[in-house]
Amino acid sequence: MENRQETEELNIPDVLPLLPVRDVVVYPYMILPLFVGREISISAVDYALSKDRMIFLATQRDVGDEDPAPEAIYEVGTVAMIMRMLKLPDGRVKILVQGLTKARITEYLAEKPFYSVRIDRIVEPALQENTLEAEALIRTVKEELGKIVALGKAVSPEVMVIVENMQEPGSLADLVASNIGLKVEEAQGLLEVIDPLERLKRVNDLLNKESELLNMQARIQSAAKEEMGKSQREYYLREQLRAIQQELGETDARSEEIAELRKSIESAKMPQPVEKEALKQLGRLEQMHPDAAEAGMLRTFLDWMVDIPWGKSTKDSLEINRASEILNEDHYFLEKVKERILEFLAVRKLKKKMKGPILCFVGPPGVGKTSLGKSIARAMGRKFVRISLGGVRDEAEIRGHRRTYVGALPGRIIQGLKQAGSNNPVFMLDELDKLGSDFRGDPSSALLEVLDPEQNNSFSDHYINLPFNLSNVMFIATANQMDTIPGPLRDRMEVINLSGYTEEEKLGIAKRYLVPRQVKENGITDDIVAFSDEALRTVISKYTREAGLRNLEREVGSICRKVARKVAEGKGEHFAISAGTVAKYLGPPKFLREEEMEKNEVGVVTGLAWTPVGGEVLFVEATVMKGKGALTLTGQLGDVMKESVQAALSYIRSKTADFDIPEDFNSTTDIHVHVPAGAIPKDGPSAGVTMATALVSALTKIPVRKEVAMTGEITLRGKVLPIGGLKEKILAAARLGVTTVVIPVQNQKDLEDVPKTILKKLKIVPASNIDEVLAVALEIYPPRAASKPKPSKTEPPKSKVARRVTVPPTGVRGKA
């Protein structure tokens, strides 16, 4: 009360200099230091010091405003007395002020060199005595202030002592508000409240809010401490242990690990951006707690970064003659593949920097696709890596998993390079045609980047998330068929077809590779067992039916095992395997060849078919009977073969006059076409000429030559269209023992792939239309000649067709 009376006795002028303050609200009786730096404010302080040391303090609305206008300054402020002043070396002034009383700005008298304002002093209503409400409110405020101090609010002990001895509501409200760190807006709002009790109530509300906030903060900190307590204790203990070890001159295992990782990264020959990223992650690991969840992931990532062969490569062996010797030593035949590899080595010898080729070996199982890749790597002096893509459905198998996943790893490509230890191996992608796809992605699409020479120089694995150069890798893909490989992926590869082996080739491979290997693997020697050529031919023809060699090697191994048992039992020392003794070891023949027809028959034609295990002979039978024009097809025929029968029948109906067939046969005759082995599904676009020949023979009753086999598709105009798999089909014809094979004219170019030894045994007849096929296949052609007397030997044939179509003499291969 004495201070208030002293204030009232002071003569406070109506006009005072104004000092705008930034981030604080000054209350009456409040003592605080202020730093003054603005020229307008320093001028106001100097003027006040030259007069009665009084100055008006008002808070500006925007803290960052350097030159506040009058409307940017609150109207209600505090008249203060400058108690001390100190000039600082940087030009600023430090003053110590004490608030005296509240006042309101009524008018701005001047703005230069400082604000001069007219004020109206605010006098609070005096309380005669404290009522019960006032006393209760005072006690409540004191208790709440004690609570927030207990919860951690920083309030000086001197202020607490003053608060305990204060009984005036207005002064208590001002003192508490100035020491609990209110926001400027809240503090200014309290300053503008004139009624002491009302002001104390608002202070009480603010104390309650602050108490709740501090309680919530305490609960959060307590929960965090409970969770972090154990790990922090361990951390502190480890830090103390490390400090002790350093004092003793010992280094801990973690420091050694970090140092070793840094040394490995620097010596891994990484590209500059990759090494920068690796060192960055190493720095994160070094600052991280060892037991943190991310620490293990980072450690694994850095191990992969070090192990990947960023700059490690093998030197290519570019001796062409030496490579040719190795390829011939490892593989019999396969001349096209060997030629392609030697071409690559020759170009590499002349040009050091070149993109790795993307080869794709396509062929039946067991023809040597995978082993050929090993031979290529051996010939080039490179490491060999093989991954099997059969059944892979997850794109992450190729590109890897994101590091955010638990147990994430790089994809198969990066894993294979780590396994090889060099960035230029021969990389074999086996079973490419058996890739799958599901909700986890399409692996074949992920391989587009891997197998594209224009893109794979910056291949990015999801786990590594950094570009890796795959252009030095020689990729070799293998597949049994191309149909299931997507077009964009197929377009990125150079396809090399490996067809099945002939009997002669199988015999050569068995003598050079299979028999010696099985003899060695079964613990016997060449002195104990000897295979004759005829024995091997018997095994090839009667115990295996395949384009490759796997079953052949199994059968040879079976004979060797039985011989090994007899030797172990002491039942002999030398065994000669002949054609007659093969059945003794392997039992009755598993496969019997289709026997050649004993005589020319009506409606039975020898067709040729392609299968994944090589060519096969397919007999097509047709018969006619009285009926109403029904067409019956049996033998598990597919849609394509059914359409071939329909096309052939439509062609015959359009040529009834040429074939000497009644025009109304389609309404008086039922036709049945059958292909034996009905339990086996059959389909393909190469049986058209066979179906047409069988139908013409059945309708005209002219027998088909038994020594003729044929293949080709037919159109409604009678043209013969080209087919695929010619080599396999001709080999099947040679095995059957036929002497003449009719092929489409456009397939003559494919005869280069057929072994010359086979071509010498066969007469190849190229045909462009069905008339030329029938001229070779039927005993009599044209068919109407069967009902007319045959011309004498001296008379030339009168049929235009007969004059136009001639049968090549025996022994002519028919190559244009």
| DSSP state for residue 124 in the 8-state scheme | P
**Cβ within 8 Å of residue 631, ≥6 positions away:** 645, 646, 649, 670, 671, 672, 673
pTM: 0.60
Q: Which among 758, 769, 775 has a CA at the least distance from the CA of 813?
A: 758
686 is an active site residue: yes
| pLDDT (mean) for 499-511 | 84
Q: Cβ of 381: how many Cβ atoms within 10 Å?
A: 15
Give me the pLDDT at residue 380, please.
86
Where is average pLDDT lowest: 172-181, 344-353, 448-457, 778-787?
Answer: 778-787
Q: Please report, for the chain, how many H helices and E strands are present, in that order.
A: 30, 24
Give me the pLDDT at residue 813, please.
31
Taking only the tens place, the pLDDT of each residue in 307-365 is 999 989 998 888 888 888 888 888 887 788 888 888 888 888 888 777 777 889 988 88
The burial of 364, by beta-carbon neighbours within 10 Å (0-12 exposed, 13-18 middle, 19 or more buried), is given as: buried
What is the pLDDT confidence band of residue 719, given thresholds at 50, 70 and 90? very high
Strand 467-468 relative to strand 459-460, pairing? antiparallel
Residue matched to tokens 């079973």: 431
Separation of alpha carbons 589 and 198, rounded Å: 114
Instruction: Exactly one of 41, 444, 686, 697 is catalytic; name it.
Output: 686
CB distance 96 to 68 below 8 Å: no
Output the CA–CA distances (angstroms, integers) from residue 384 to 355, 400, 422, 461, 716, in the order listed. 18, 21, 10, 21, 53
CB distance 139 to 204 below 8 Å: no
The backbone region for 545, taken as left when phi is positive above 0, alpha when psi lies in -120 to 50, beta otherwise, is beta
What is the pLDDT confidence band of residue 785, given thresholds at 50, 70 and 90? low
Q: Any known ligand binding at 675?
A: no
Q: Any known ligand binding at 367?
A: yes
Q: Which residue has the higher pLDDT, 556 or 456?
A: 556
Give me the pLDDT at residue 248, please.
67
Residue matched to tokens 């709002």: 189
Whether the predicted pLDDT of 231 surpasses 70 = no
Rg of the chain in Å (alpha carbons):
51
The end-to-end CA distance of the chain, in Å, is 131
Whether the predicted pLDDT of 705 surpasses 60 = yes
| pLDDT (mean) for 522-538 | 92
Q: What is the 3-state secondary structure (H, E, C) of 361-414?
A: EECCCCCCHHHHHHHHHHHHCCCEEEEECCCCCCCHHHHCCCCCCCCCCCCHHH
Whether the predicted pLDDT of 383 surpasses 90 = yes
CB distance 168 to 176 below 8 Å: no
Whether the predicted pLDDT of 619 surpasses 50 = yes
Q: Which among 811, 620, 600 has a CA at the least distance from the CA of 712?
A: 620
Give me the pLDDT at residue 814, please.
31
H or E stretch at 152: none
Q: Any known ligand binding at 580?
A: no
Separation of alpha carbons 125 and 131, rounded Å: 15
355 is an active site residue: no
**Cβ within 8 Å of residue 424, ≥6 positions away:** 313, 314, 316, 356, 382, 472, 473, 474
The packing angle between helices 196-247 and 169-177, to 10°, is 30
Q: Cβ of 463: how many Cβ atoms within 10 Å?
A: 22
Q: Any known ligand binding at 271?
A: no
- CA 510 remoteness from chain centre: 42
Whether the predicted pLDDT of 535 surpasses 90 = yes
Give me the pLDDT at residue 250, please.
55
Instruction: Exactly one of 506, 542, 729, 763 is catalytic; name it.
Output: 729
Separation of alpha carbons 352 and 736, rounded Å: 51
Q: Which residue has the higher pLDDT, 159 or 579?
A: 579
Helix-, strand-, coil-residue percentages of the chain, each rounded to 5: 45, 20, 35
CB distance 33 to 195 below 8 Å: no
The tokens describing 799, both together, are 């049929």
Separation of alpha carbons 792 and 265, rounded Å: 95
**Cβ within 8 Å of residue 158, ≥6 positions away:** none
- Residues 143-180, buried b or exposed e (16+ Cβ, 10 A)? ebbbbbbeeebebeeebeeebeebebbbbbbbbbbbbb
Beta strand residue intervals within 330-371, DSSP E: 358-362
| pLDDT (mean) for 439-443 | 80
Percent of the chain with pLDDT over 70: 91
Whether the predicted pLDDT of 806 surpasses 50 = no
Q: What are phi and psi of 111, to 5 degrees?
A: -115, -15
Separation of alpha carbons 725 and 611, rounded Å: 9
Q: Any known ligand binding at 181?
A: no
CB distance 768 to 775 below 8 Å: no
Q: Which among 54, 59, 73 has a CA at the least distance from the CA of 13?
A: 54
Strand 54-59 relative to strand 15-21, pairing? parallel
Q: What are phi and psi of 216, to 5 degrees?
A: -60, -45
Average pLDDT across the chain, whole number: 84
Polymer length in residues for the chain: 816
Whether the predicted pLDDT of 766 surpasses 90 = yes
What is the pLDDT confidence band of residue 64, given thresholds at 50, 70 and 90? confident
Q: Which residue has the higher pLDDT, 438 or 621?
A: 621
Output the CA–CA distances (angstroms, integers) from residue 361 to 55, 445, 482, 545, in the order listed. 97, 20, 10, 22
Separation of alpha carbons 188 and 346, rounded Å: 90
Q: Any known ligand binding at 368?
A: yes
Whether the predicted pLDDT of 789 surpasses 70 = no
Separation of alpha carbons 70 and 117, rounded Å: 10
CB distance 686 to 723 below 8 Å: yes
The tokens describing 488, both together, are 């964009």
- Helix extents (H) in 402-509: 412-420, 443-450, 487-491, 503-509
Taking only the tens place, the pLDDT of each residue in 137-174 is 888 888 888 888 887 777 788 888 888 888 888 888 88
Q: Is 653 helix (H, G, I), strand (E, B) or coil?
A: helix
Percent of the chain with pLDDT over 90: 29
What is the pLDDT confidence band of residue 787, given thresholds at 50, 70 and 90? low
